[in-house]
Amino acid sequence: MAVTGDIIRAWRHPRQVMRHQLGHGKREDRALVFLISACLLIFVAQWPRLASLAEADPSMPFDIRIGGALLGWLFLAPLALYAIAALSRIIARLAGGKGDWYEARLALFWSLLVAAPLWIVNGLVAGLPGVAAVKALTGALAFASFIAVWMLSLYEAEKGGAA
């Protein structure tokens, strides 16, 4: 099944889809593609908000804002996400997890890709003027959904014998 189909299925059955992802074997290239794809989608999702901010405050033009978001999401965020995955693996191991480093990375990167459509919605809403409560709600929903999918995926990865 295509990755897009797996993303849709992951909203109903995140552990089952994570098990399916782990069944592809240890392929670092696959995990890296998930990470870069998610970061790219989240970067693009920032554009409406950045355009709105640039219009409200012309002292910092849109291209400078986009440059900062590009640096953050495509260069710095992947490094930070690798560190977060390692930290999650250490915590899971202390809690009795039986997975490995790759599985912890895959759980995080896959979960970020699954949540990316909500980040796109959040970015679109954030670009609208004067809907602060809706912006906060969509942001909280996107973040909570990401955390929920990540925890379920990490549990599946750490329960042992998943791959």
3-state secondary structure labels for all residues of the chain: CCHHHHHHHHCCCHHHHHHHHHCCCCCHHHHHHHHHHHHHHHHHHCHHHHHHHHHHCCCCCHHHHHHHHHHHHHHHHHHHHHHHHHHHHHHHHHCCCCCCHHHHHHHHHHHHHHHHHHHHHHHHHHCCCCCHHHHHHHHHHHHHHHHHHHHHHHHHHHCCCCC
**pLDDT exceeds 70 at position 78:** yes
The percentage of the chain sitting over the pLDDT mark of 90, rounded to a whole number, equals 88
pLDDT at 132: 84
Residue 72 has pLDDT above 50, yes or no: yes
Our measurement of the distance from residue 31's CA atom to the centroid of its chain's CA atoms, rounded to an integer in Å, reads: 12
* 3-class DSSP string for 98-115: CCCHHHHHHHHHHHHHHH
Question: Measured between alpha carbons, how far is residue 82 from residues 31, 65, 78, 85, 87 in Å?
Answer: 11, 25, 6, 5, 9
What are the tokens at 135?
């912006």
Which residue from 70, 74, 2, 91 is spatially nearest to 32, judged by alpha carbons?
A: 74
The answer to whether residue 124 is domain-embedded is yes
Let me know if residue 163 belongs to a domain.
Answer: no
Model's pTM, two decimal places? 0.92
Per-residue pLDDT at 57 exceeds 60: yes
Q: Give the Cα-Cα-Cα angle 135, 119, 10 (nearest 5 degrees).
A: 130
Is 20 part of any domain? Answer: yes
For the chain, the domain total comes to: 1
Range of the structural domain that residue 104 is part of: 3-158
In a domain, 77, yes or no: yes
Whether the pLDDT of residue 32 is over 50: the answer is yes
